[in-house]
Amino acid sequence: MASATTVCPHCGGTGWRIHEKGGLSGAERCDCFKVQRAERLVEASGIPANYTKASFENFVLVHPDKQQESRLVDGFKAAYDFAERFPHRSEKPGLLFVGPTGAGKTHLAVAVMRRLMQKGFETLFFGYQELLENLKSSYDPAYGAALRESYQRALECEILVLDDLGAYRVTDWVLDTVTHLITVRCNERRPVIATTNLIESRADLGRRTASGETDTRYLLGERIGERARSRLMEMCTVIRMHGVSDYRERPSTR
């Protein structure tokens, strides 16, 4: 396709390349069309300003602690392989990044987004808290329509990225809303890529209160509802980045 100042030499600005084989003519999308579509998708993706440059190429894998470096490398490889193979019919269509604040979960989620948009997939980023606040505010007639549309886009987009899943005060309304969102997307096999610093299952819960009882405040199922957690696990491959220190506090290797 043509820009305002240049015309693609391969397609003449049409977005289609004509080719002939065996005396027959055919057409295929020109690379310039794919590039411009990817640029439009990025502009509409909602990636936060802090992460507009996040990519696989600038994700720093070096860490002074070799055990933590190994976890970073494993997380990077899993995310990169997912993005390169997507779409894949034989695997779970989504990702769940689990780990502490500052481990690099959001950076990798955005890096996956960027690769999928290069492939032409519509991918939208929402902070979990932002999405719920927008929906709650939509009940106010002064703001309603536009904010409800935001939630509808989260329901219907090809690929949804939910950052900081579970980081919101739990109410029945929150549980119902999140369960609806994840169930609809799971039923329609629309991928979710999520990040969370919560613990994904009771089997992994190692934190205890002073009384010796399991502290369920850190369980993902307690914050988004067990039904939503179950559906999320059904559709997502889990990438665990436990034990990785906050990059903001690491030595200057980052």
- Inform me whether the pLDDT recorded for 198 exceeds 50: yes
For the chain, the domains span 1-36, 44-249
pLDDT of residue 17: 65
What is the spatial distance between Cα 123 and Cα 207, in angstroms, rounded to a whole number? 35
Angle between helices 144-156 and 172-187 (to 10 degrees): 40
In degrees to the nearest 10, what's the CA dihedral of 160, 100, 236, 43?
20
- Inform me whether the pLDDT recorded for 208 exceeds 50: no
pTM score, two decimals? Answer: 0.81
Structure confidence by residue, pLDDT tens digits, 98-123 = 999 999 999 999 999 999 999 999 99
> Is there a contact between 123 and 158 (Cβ–Cβ < 8 Å)?
yes
What is the spatial distance between Cα 189 and Cα 180, in angstroms, rounded to a whole number? 14
Residue bearing the bigger pLDDT, 29 or 52:
52
pLDDT of residue 88: 83
Per-residue pLDDT, averaged over 175-181, amounts to 96
Domain 44-249: CATH class, spelled out: alpha beta
Residue bearing the bigger pLDDT, 67 or 209:
67
Structure confidence by residue, pLDDT tens digits, 57-77 = 999 998 888 999 999 999 999
